[in-house]
Structure 1
Amino acid sequence: MLVIITDEHLLSPSQVCQSCLLADRTGQPRWDRGKLGCGYALQQLSRELPPQYQCCMGFRLVNIESSS
């Protein structure tokens, strides 16, 4: 599950990306095969945390995979 993180909140990409010109046709970030097409990967500080990405609008995104 792809989420946008801020200092105090976790947001759904549908709350933010709907107004982005770089979003796909459904208003979601361009996420394909583990890469953010509308941003870039940030330096990973710990292997224990999931990789973070920053979109062109300045938001940080994280792909949180559920372990079922």
Structure 2
Amino acid sequence: MLVILMEDQLLQPQQVCQSCLMADRSGQPRWQQGRLRCGRALEKPSENLPEQYECQMGFRIANIEPA
């Protein structure tokens, strides 16, 4: 599940991506085959943290896998 990381909260992508020109037709981030196509992967700071990406608009996105 993709989430947008803000300073002190997590947001659903549809709250941010709906107005993004890089989003897909449904207003979702371009997530394909385990990669964010509308951003770049960030170096993983710790093995315990989820994969993180920075989108073209500058938001930090994490891929959180359900437990």
* Alignment TM-score, normalising by the size of structure 1: 0.95
Would you identify which runs of 4 or more consecutive aligned residues in structure 1 move more than 4 Å?
A: none
Query: Which whole-Å deviations, capped at 9, do the CAs of 1:2-51 have from their partners, x for residues lacking one?
Result: 10001111000000000000100000000011100000001111111111
CA-atom RMSD, angstroms?
0.6
> Which structure 1 residue ranges, 5 or more long, are not aligned?
none
Cα separation, 1, equivalents of 2:3 and 2:35: 14
**Which residues of structure 2 form unaligned runs of 5+?**
none
Identity %: 61
Q: Which residue of 1 aligns with 2:14?
A: 14
TM-score, normalization: structure 2?
0.96
Alignment size in residue pairs: 67
